[in-house]
Structure 1
């Protein structure tokens, strides 16, 4: 590996593992990079299992210290809605990462998104005077406290980053509005498109037994998830009750509720659904099996930012159970619709989707991009790797993703 530049890729949560795995694979293909996956322990073994879906494993594993009293959250930032547990988690992560990220042994650090691990990784690299590369830079909701604490994390990471890999032109505009120099931004597309299409083609050897039955069933599928911190408690219960109503109205539709790792969050959505014969409650689902479910579904009901992007890879309509979203491209394209957590609104929006011609009586075509995808063309990781080489003076600057390439 002599002469190669060592690139540390910080991975703390399952979404980070998904979105950074294609970047690691592309860096492995270069002649100049020595990528090293560094896991923070924020999402525990689920990160290792998700990396394994892409044939990867961590080179360095950090223990962030004792976990807060309640774990989980919108992107696994951990803790409750109070500031204490989140700040304690971030402090522990920063300390652990600071011991591992040292110049000149590390030439660049890649972080992704908006988690506590991403913020701590950017801070540790900044303190060590190592260039910071931010994948999925520039997402903004416009409200510093919603989603909490992710929106604030994004803004802080932008101040520390040397290279901003924006998934869309809208994200680039957000960065420019924050004062980021244009020559420090590359529009790459979203790496989750690369990841979800690749994972959906994996053999279904990781699927849990209950999902094997669904694989052989031609019934229309609806995927449901709920986990965001701002929806904890009664809002998530309302989502569960709405799905219960829909399951009664559409007995020939199978509703698959992909559970969050946090048991309290899982209980809140499942309590109205346990006795419904056409509702499946398989618990947490391995990523490749989940990607296959999305590829076969007719609708997603979710508060997840990542699933808003992943569903778009298959032209899947999404009902977003939030009051706002930083993934505005899906809203603008018509693929996604904000419905909040009101039961009546969720049911009415789903009924409208089910009423569209062919939705419930024709299986989805097995194509990765049956509709225009506002999040990219499936080659984002290649652009990200090339941009890292450009930052280090080892490769030409890649061209930005164009509007035509998102079609």
Structure 2
């Protein structure tokens, strides 16, 4: 009888949890594996919301975040904390996702112990180590030692082999975020009460076209956030438009948006939404303005054009497919491109109908089968 493989999944942020829970569900159900879960708590409240809705109880919760913590202090605490868990669990595989400090340190701690690492959402590259920062370097570090690289697309797989990663270690699986979106959409359809946080805002903005906004990237702090706030304010001057903006908890985002946008009739600044309600926001929005990575994958699955408020993207497939457009953080450009989609039905339809290149909702099963060998 084949040995049961102990798999330790390590993650800490809300996006990681969303992209990992479909995989964890399958690992828990599969008798080939002993599934263990370690969370760092890198996003405390937002992480816990996803764990609750997905029904995942971590075996280890490091709860490492501290107010005003520097990246080097966080990195040191993550390496030591995850290292202690690895020494206790002694897993056969460590699975990390994406490009966070938790993913990088989880992979590095495993590498230090010669435990093989599997990287979910491997191979994303912007080509600029400062955009996104520090994520671009985090994922490149993981790519140097991962024993299995689960690339979401052929483009990301090619990025890895271009960096001399052994092609035998690279597998195109699709992105688990599409699995997660399918799961939550079905769950909300069965239990509508899970996604009622936007009900009052939807009534308030009835008859208007909704622009959903997310923004939190470190490289946009300062002038970039000011420009994004300016653009949102100008778009909200239109009578036919309303803005719904769940504002990230980081004070570099909150202080700017609250000062510049609070109290506007056509703008709803909300607390961060849990996953079911965020899926609802994607569903009711005509356009998404974002500097997030995940939204570039999720919104096209629901036929929603994405304007990416960044100078580069590690998801060029969306731009190439026509589901997303890079607009940077110049306020005039953001307003111009959003207005085009609002005013030109052909331009809108061209983006809304483009094929989503990020997966078919079966990525997690492919990953499970590859881990089983």
Q: For this structure pair, what is the TM-score category when the shorter chain's length is used for normalisation?
A: over 0.9
Secondary structure of 1:221 counterpart:
strand
Aligned equivalents of 1:356 and 1:339: distance in 2?
17
Which of the numbers 140, 157, 161 marks the counterpart of 1:155? 140
Q: Unmatched 5+ residue regions in structure 2?
A: none
Matches within 5 A, 1:227-266: 227-249=216-238, 251-266=239-254
Q: Does 1:86 align with 2:71?
A: yes
Q: What is the rounded CA distance, in whole Å, between the counterparts of 1:68 and 1:129 in structure 2?
A: 33
Q: Which residue of 1 aligns with 2:340?
A: 352
8 Å CA contact 1:13, 1:43 repeated in 2: yes
Residues 206 and 286, structure 1, Cα contact 8 Å, conserved in 2: no
Select the structure that is richer in helix. Answer: 2
Report the counterpart of residue 212 of structure 1 in structure 2. 199
Matches of 1:63 and 1:339 in 2, distance apart?
Answer: 36
Q: CA deviation at 1:281?
A: 1.1
**2:182 and 2:243 mapped to 1: Cα distance?**
22
Q: Work out whether residues 63 and 96 of structure 1, in 8 Å CA contact, stay in contact via their aligned partners in 2.
A: no
Question: Normalized against structure 2, the TM-score is what?
Answer: 0.92
| Paired residues of 2:323 and 2:355 also in contact (CA < 8 A) | no
Corresponding residue number in structure 2 for 1:132:
117
Aligned residues: 365
Q: For 1:312, which of 300, 312, 318 is the aligned residue?
A: 300
CA distance in 1 between counterparts of 2:332 and 2:133 reads 26
Structure 1 segment 8-407 matched on structure 2, within 5 A: 8-64=8-64, 67=66, 69=68, 85-102=70-87, 105-201=90-186, 202=188, 203-207=191-195, 209=197, 211-215=198-202, 217=206, 219-249=208-238, 251-357=239-345, 371-390=354-373
Alignment check: 8 A CA contact 1:208 1:282 kept: no
Q: Does the 8 A contact of 1:255 with 1:279 survive in 2?
A: yes
Per the TM alignment, residue 358 of structure 1 is displaced from its structure 2 partner at its CA by: 8.5
CA distance in 2, matches of 1:295, 1:61: 32
Task: Output the CA distance in 2 between the equivalents of 1:215 and 1:24.
Answer: 34
Equivalent residue, structure 2, for 1:397: none
Aligned Cα root-mean-square deviation (Å): 2.1
Q: Check 1:197–1:350 CA distance in 2 against 1; reply closer, same or farther (3 A cut).
A: same
What's the TM-score once normalised by structure 1's chain length? Answer: 0.85
Q: Displacement of 1:277 after TM fit?
A: 1.2
1:219 CA displacement? 3.5
3-state SS of paired residue (1:248): coil
Contact 2:221 2:253 in 1 (8 A): yes
Tell me, in whole angstroms, the C-alpha distance in 1 between the residues paired with 2:90 and 2:171.
Answer: 26
| Structure 1: tracts of 5 or more residues without a match | 70-78, 80-84, 363-368, 391-407
| Aligned-partner SS, 1:133 | strand
Distance 1:383 1:327 in 2: 21
- Post-superposition Cα deviations, 1:219-239, rounded to whole Å, max 9, x if no partner, equal 422111111001112211211
Deviations 1:6-46 (A, max 9, x none): 21110111111010011111212322012122101211232
Distance in 1 (CA, whole Å) between partners of 2:208 and 2:131 is 37
How far apart in 1 are the matches of 2:353 and 2:346? 15
Cα distance in 1 for residues equivalent to 2:207 and 2:113: 54
CA contact (8 A) 2:201 2:268 kept: no
| Maintained 8 Å contact 1:94/1:120 | yes
1:124 aligned counterpart, secondary structure: helix
Cα gap change, 1:117/1:304 in structure 2, threshold over 3 Å: closer, same or farther?
Answer: same
Cα distance, 1:100 vs. partner?
0.6
Task: Tell me by how many angstroms 1:319 deviates.
Answer: 0.8
